[in-house]
Amino acid sequence: MLQLLIDILFTVWLSTLTIILILERKRNKKSLNMEIPKNRQLIKAKRYIIFNVITESSDLESSQIEEAIRVSVKELLGKVWLDISNPRVIFFLPDRKEGIISTNRGGYKVVIASLPLTKKVSGTKVLLVPVKTTGSLKKAKEMIGLK
In sequence order, the β-bridge partners of residue 49 are 101, 133
| H-helix or E-strand spanning residue 131 | strand 127-134
38-79 tens-digit pLDDT: 555 545 689 999 999 998 887 888 899 999 999 999 999 889
CATH number at residue 81: 3.30.70.3250
Cα(20)–Cα(147) distance, rounded to whole angstroms? 64
**pLDDT > 70: what percent of the chain?**
89
Is residue 34 situated within a structural domain? Answer: no
Q: E strands of 15-105, at which residues? A: 46-54, 88-93, 98-104
- Distance between CA 54 and CA 129 in Å, rounded? 8
3-class state of residue 16 by DSSP = helix
Distance from chain centroid for Cα 4: 55
What is the pTM assigned to this prediction? 0.68
pLDDT of 99 above 90: yes
- Residue 19 predicted with pLDDT over 70: yes
Judge whether 68 lies within some domain: yes
Domain-embedded: residue 27: no
pLDDT of residue 35: 56
Number of domains in the chain: 1
Residue 96's domain comprises: 45-144
**Average pLDDT over the chain, rounded to an integer:** 85
| 120 part of a folded domain | yes
Give a yes or no: residue 5 inside a domain. no
What are the respective helix, strand and coil percentages of the chain, to the nearest 5? Answer: 50, 25, 30
Q: What is the pLDDT of residue 132?
A: 93
